[in-house]
Structure 1
Amino acid sequence: MTLRSRLRSLEQTIRLKGDEARHEQTDAWSNRDIIPLPPSRRTWGWFNFFGFWSIGSLNLANWQGPSIYLTQGLSVRQAMFILIVGRLLISAFSALIAWCGLEWHIGFTVQNRYSWGMRASYVPLLQRILLNFVWNAIQCWTGGRLIAVCITAIWPSFARIPNTFGPNMPTTTHEFVGFVVFWFFSTPFLWLRPEKFKMPFLMVCTWCGIGMLSWMTWSVVAAGGVGPLWHQGQRIPEDSQWSASWLMVAGINQMVGAIAAGITNGSDFSRYARAPKDYVVGTVSSCIITGVLVSLSGLVTVSASQKLYHKVYWNPPDLLMVMMDSGNGPWTSRAAVFLLSAGFAFTAMFENICGNAVAGGIDLAGVFPRYIDIRRGAIITFVAAWVVQPWQLINRAQTFISVLSSFSVFLAPIMGIMACDYYVLRKRRLRLSHLYNPQGSYYWFWHGINWRTPVAWSLGWAPTIGGLIVTVRQDADPPRLLVQLYYTAFVVGFFTSAFAFYALNVLFTAALQLDQYDDVDVYGTFTAEEAKKLGITSVEDAAVVGLRAAVEGAATYGSIEGVDRKRIGSTR
């Protein structure tokens, strides 16, 4: 067998296979995991979305949220105001961006094709793939620290094992073992399809939620009150150049921006909803209720613990180690610490799998649909943690972490374009058949690129990038206007790009066909009720079976424009 034959055989082996009778054809633009989801795969009810957003709230970052604002000199009331307003905005933007997935059952991977052009859609995809790789690695490291606490609670001597790494390694053996154990325990769950996530959500939310409330209750009872931190008033330094109002604006922007990556690809998960109300009820209730309660619990627990241990411990692993005296405490305290740290660890595990690994798998599937599906992409994202080396980032490159946390400077303009295009220009109408076949597609534009989009995107982040740079560099006396723009980067970027994109489309209309959609449900995507609401002929109607075959044949051998319009009706 020649080398060419072997390579061809290998390519056929690793190439994805799909049931073409179910429209799961595999080619340069399509595979089973990026086609419009049929009703049989839309299994998420309201609790799935409640759990999905809850695991994004029941984590260390949200627990530590108030610390950021209190250390800046804001009061407890002002910190809680930031948290509440931020959560309301997160809920609103999440529903706004994810609605396309609820109506047309496509994900972020495909959603960008009608705005950027089919080739240029790789630009936002590559941004998110980079973020998924890095945040997955960092989350594995954070979860590893919790696993190290669990192991110490069982075997106290683990905390005292000698460090076998040299001085050039920015971590210890104790921390590294925790990372390795967390990574290997997480790996089997990568084989779970998103349709099957209900049970993990139920288990994790119940375990971690009860654990946090129990921890807060115990700390208040043991301390005989909430402690002095709870009563902290405004303490902004007199020489500070920022008033409380600007610090609150910056806090709200930072809070929304920190979860911008999860908002941007909201349709990747909203497309699994059984009905739009399931997404709205689950998302809004979890974002607001769970998110605020976790931060409140963290604030109360840390404040009460200050009375017990005479020091403020915002980082849960540090506080848990103190509670059991680094493993030297009684078995009761070690048992409690084990349960608490395990609850945090499992939450971090499923947050990472959903928010980073699976999301990364979907994005990779959009770039390499012939060879990568969600499962393969999730595995690749997870393996990349070893390449990224999070111990280097966490312990050395704090500036790099700050840049990643501020990546909403680039993501907010993408969201502004998505919202403007879908709601204002296209009036929520899409041609699904043209999103998967470039020949004659309305979304091909010029060589697969809609030049208006990168221009509008650049105009969105241009005003705020200067503030990001001077903030990350920690300049002593940065230009005030640059920092103010950075403090409002999410809103500025979102609306600047949205207005710019609208203006460019008005000035340069070309033949964009903005309000087109298929007359026939080409992919068997919609229920009869959905098809009727959209004005589309459902495949469930026996009278159009022949028309569906004609449409599929045209899509296979060329543009859908090849189908006889007299048979399927006029263009909408």
Structure 2
Amino acid sequence: MPAAAASANPRDRHHYAAELAPDSRLYNKDLAPTQPAQRTWSTYNYIALWFSMSMEVTTYMLASSLIAGGMNWKQAIFTILLGNLIVLIPMLLNAHAGAKYGIPFPVFVRASFGPAGANIPAILRAIVACGWFGIQSWLGGQAIAAMVGVLLPQTMHMPWVLWACFLGFWLLNMAIVWRGVESIRFLQSFSAPFMLLMSLILLFWMLHKAGGFGPMLAAPSRFTSTSSFLHFFIPSLTAMVGYWATLSLNIPDFTRYAKNQDAQIIGQAFGLPVAMTLYSFIGIAVTSASEVVFGQPIWSPITLLGRFHQPFVAFLGLIALLVATLNVNIAANVVSPSNDFSNLAPRLISFRTGGMITGLLGLAMMPWKLMETFGSYIFGWLVGYSGLLGPVAGIMVADYFMVRGTKLDCYSLYRRGGIYEYRRGLNPAALIALVIGVVAALVGRFIPAVAFLYDYAWFIGFLLSGTLYYLMMLAKPSIVIEENEATQ
């Protein structure tokens, strides 16, 4: 702005400021880029984030279900480690924009889908997170009910106790959401070391009961051929990737608070694979030990702890499960969908209001049905929604790195009519690529002849949508030229 313009009369300055102001339909304080004073998350905070989110009941069940499906402990650990190393790639790629520009996922995705089109992937991701919120709330309620049962055995067969505990845990989650994102950082920093300690105590307790690691890990693989193993391994690997498919999209919601890129890169590159592999091994070992101790593999840690005859041990273990469930529910399943719902109508929906919407939808999705069996959990829920989110991840990565070379005009992300407007706020290339990728990923669920596509749902969607999007955007070089001029 020239000096002459700066010294113009107040009415002219007001008009100039109004032109620069963000569009209120696309902006509120929760969606605004983070300021330097807000960027306080260190490497330790990101390590703690992943340890706290990994060390919870659904991770345990994820690992134990592989044992129940026929794998031995080495095959299960390999599947989990490989899946998490794969999902770490889009995780770090999408995290870059959050740390560089301080923007959350629903704002970041405007660059590829347009300001109106961004609502589509944001709501897809938010609905999945609502399902996870419901699942975690249900498991947390079960843990509380089990603790009540340890103290008051007569309540163990009273269904209303479980439902009361479920709703009470739901209210606890909502109270933490009301306090804001900094309460999450404090909770994770405190609970991550505690959860590791409690998990190790459970492991060594079961080790003692089973008579050592030998009996615990002696179960052989039940697969008699390579083809039978691959038939189970491939969709299981997809499920491992799908487990963190939501976070691979909305990780900017957390990296926007990073002190620098190194803090989030190192913290995530160490925290995600190490935490998941460590806690998965605990789940696999304890589940194997339960077969030795109780005569059958018990894949739910809540059920397992309920079988203990020592009330103090059971009570302490259930408290650990409760803390872990609370951690992951807030960090992974409330923060990001709250931002997504806020993005629909920033003037009307704040972060807190978005959190309330998330909680209500989580109840409506009947989580007790989603976790009915380990088969529906792995091959229905995890693989199924990975086919919805893989295409979004592919488009985001292709747009940010291949089309734009990590250059964004942050100012235009909060305005209509700018370089991200496309056609009335929608990018046809992104929408076409998304639809084709989702159809290709999920068609195998309904047509047996191409069932193999569903087994690779996340991979098919990610690669196909990303490639199609890049090819279609190559035909629009003017968009990139315009953006490069705006960011200079």
TM value normalised by structure 1: 0.77
Mapping of residues 24-39 of structure 1, within 5 Å: 27-39=24-36
Would the aligned equivalents of 2:125 and 2:246 in 1 still touch at CA under 8 Å? yes
> Do 1:236 and 1:244's aligned partners in 2 also have CA atoms closer than 8 Å?
yes
Paired residue secondary structure (1:513): helix
> For the residues of structure 2 that align with 1:400 and 1:338, how far apart are their CA atoms?
27
Matches within 5 A, 1:306-317: 306-317=291-302
Gaps of 5+ in 2: 1-16
Match of 1:41 in 2: 38
1:291-350 Cα offsets, whole Å, 9 max, x none, are: 1111111111222232222221111111111113xxxxxxxx211111111111111112
Helix, strand or coil for the counterpart of 1:438? Answer: coil
**What residue is the counterpart of 1:283 in the other structure?**
268
Within 5 Å, give how 1:196-345 maps onto structure 2: 196-226=183-213, 228=215, 230-236=217-223, 242-324=227-309, 333-345=310-322
1:428 Cα deviation from its structure 2 partner = 0.8
Q: Which moved more, 1:506-515 or 1:458-467?
A: 506-515
| Structure 1 residue ranges without an equivalent (≥5) | 1-19, 162-171, 325-332, 471-477, 520-571
- Compute the displacement of 1:517 (Å): 5.9
Instruction: Give the number of the structure with larger relative contact order, counting CA–CA contacts within 8 Å between residues 6 or more apart.
Output: 2
- Note if 1:148 corresponds to 2:145: yes
**In structure 1, C-alpha distance between the alignment counterparts of 2:38 and 2:21, rounded to whole Å:** 13
| TM-score, reference length from structure 2 | 0.90
Equivalences for residues 147-166 of structure 1 within 5 A:
147-161=144-158
- For the Cα contact (< 8 Å) 1:195–1:272, is it kept in 2? no
1:378 and 2:316 correspond: no
Q: Contact 2:394–2:462 (CA<8 Å) still a contact in 1? A: yes
Does structure 2 conserve the Cα–Cα contact (< 8 Å) formed by 1:26 and 1:32?
A: no
Give the distance between the partners of 1:400 and 1:61, measured in 2 at CA. 9
Cα distance between partner residues in 2 of 1:430 and 1:174: 52
Structure 2 letter corresponding to 1:492: I
Tell me if 1:497 matches 2:482: no
Read off the aligned partner of 2:109 and give its amino acid letter: N
Deviation of 1:508 after TM superposition, in Å, equals 4.4
Report how far residue 229 of structure 1 moved.
5.5
* Native 8 Å contact 1:427 1:515 kept in 2: no
| 8 Å Cα contact 2:403/2:480 also seen in 1 | no
Q: Distance in 1 between matches of 2:237 and 2:327?
A: 26
Once the two structures are superposed, the pairs formed by residues 547-566 of structure 1 within 5 Å of their partners are none
Q: Is the Cα contact below 8 Å between 1:460 and 1:492 reproduced in 2? A: yes
Please tell me whether the aligned partners of residues 227 and 306 of structure 1 are also in contact (alpha carbons under 8 angstroms).
no
How far did residue 418 of structure 1 move? 0.6
- Paired-residue identity, %: 25
Aligned partner of residue 243 in structure 1, secondary structure:
helix
Q: Deviations over 1:221-255 (max 9, x none)?
A: 222123645122232267x9x43234323322110
1:57-456 matches, cutoff 5 A: 57-161=54-158, 172-226=159-213, 228=215, 230-236=217-223, 242-324=227-309, 333-391=310-368, 393-395=370-372, 403-405=380-382, 406-439=384-417, 441-456=418-433
RMSD, aligned α-carbons: 2.5
Q: How do 1:506-525 and structure 2 match up within 5 A?
A: 506-509=474-477, 511-513=479-481, 515-516=483-484, 518=486
Cα distance change on mapping 1:37 and 1:183 into 2, 3 Å: same
Classify the secondary structure of the residue corresponding to 2:470.
helix
What residue is the counterpart of 1:458 in the other structure?
A: 435
Partners of 1:295 and 1:396 in 2: CA distance: 19
- Please report how far the alpha carbon of residue 396 of structure 1 lies from its aligned counterpart in structure 2 after TM superposition: 9.8
Contact 1:26-1:370 at 8 Å conserved across structures? no
Distance (whole Å) between structure 2 residues aligned to residue 485 and residue 100 of structure 1:
31
1:51 is aligned to: 48
Q: Which moved further from structure 2: 212-221 or 383-392?
A: 383-392
Taking the aligned partners of 1:417 and 1:26, their CA distance within structure 2 comes to 25
**CA spacing shift, 1:78–1:390, aligned 2, 3 Å:** closer
How many matched pairs?
Answer: 470
More displaced stretch, 304-313 vs 493-502: 304-313
Deviations 1:433-490 (A, max 9, x none): 1111113x000011111111111112222322222335xxxxxxx32xx222222222
Higher helix share: 2
Which one is further off, 141-150 or 301-310?
301-310
- The structure-2 alpha-carbon separation of the partners of 1:28 and 1:515, relative to structure 1 and needing over 3 Å to count, comes to closer
SS at match of 1:120: coil
Kindly provide the amino acid, as one letter, of the partner of residue 431 in structure 2.
P
Cα deviation digits, residues 133-177 of structure 1 (max 9, x gap): 22212211111001111112222222144xxxxxxxxxx223212
Residues 481-532 of structure 1: CA deviation (Å, up to 9, x unaligned): x22222222222111111111111123445453642655xxxxxxxxxxxxx
Q: Is the 8 A contact 1:42 1:195 kept in 2?
A: no
Within 1, Cα distance between the matches of 2:479 and 2:272? 40
SS of 2:156's equivalent in the other structure is helix
Report SS of the residue matched to 1:74: coil
**Matched-pair contact (CA < 8 Å) for 1:50–1:286:** yes
Alpha-carbon distance in structure 1 between the residues aligned to 2:50 and 2:239: 18
> Residues 114 and 313 from structure 1, CA distance in 2 versus in 1: closer, same or farther, beyond 3 angstroms?
same
Say which SS state the counterpart of residue 182 (structure 1) adopts.
Answer: helix
* Amino acid paired to 1:463: A
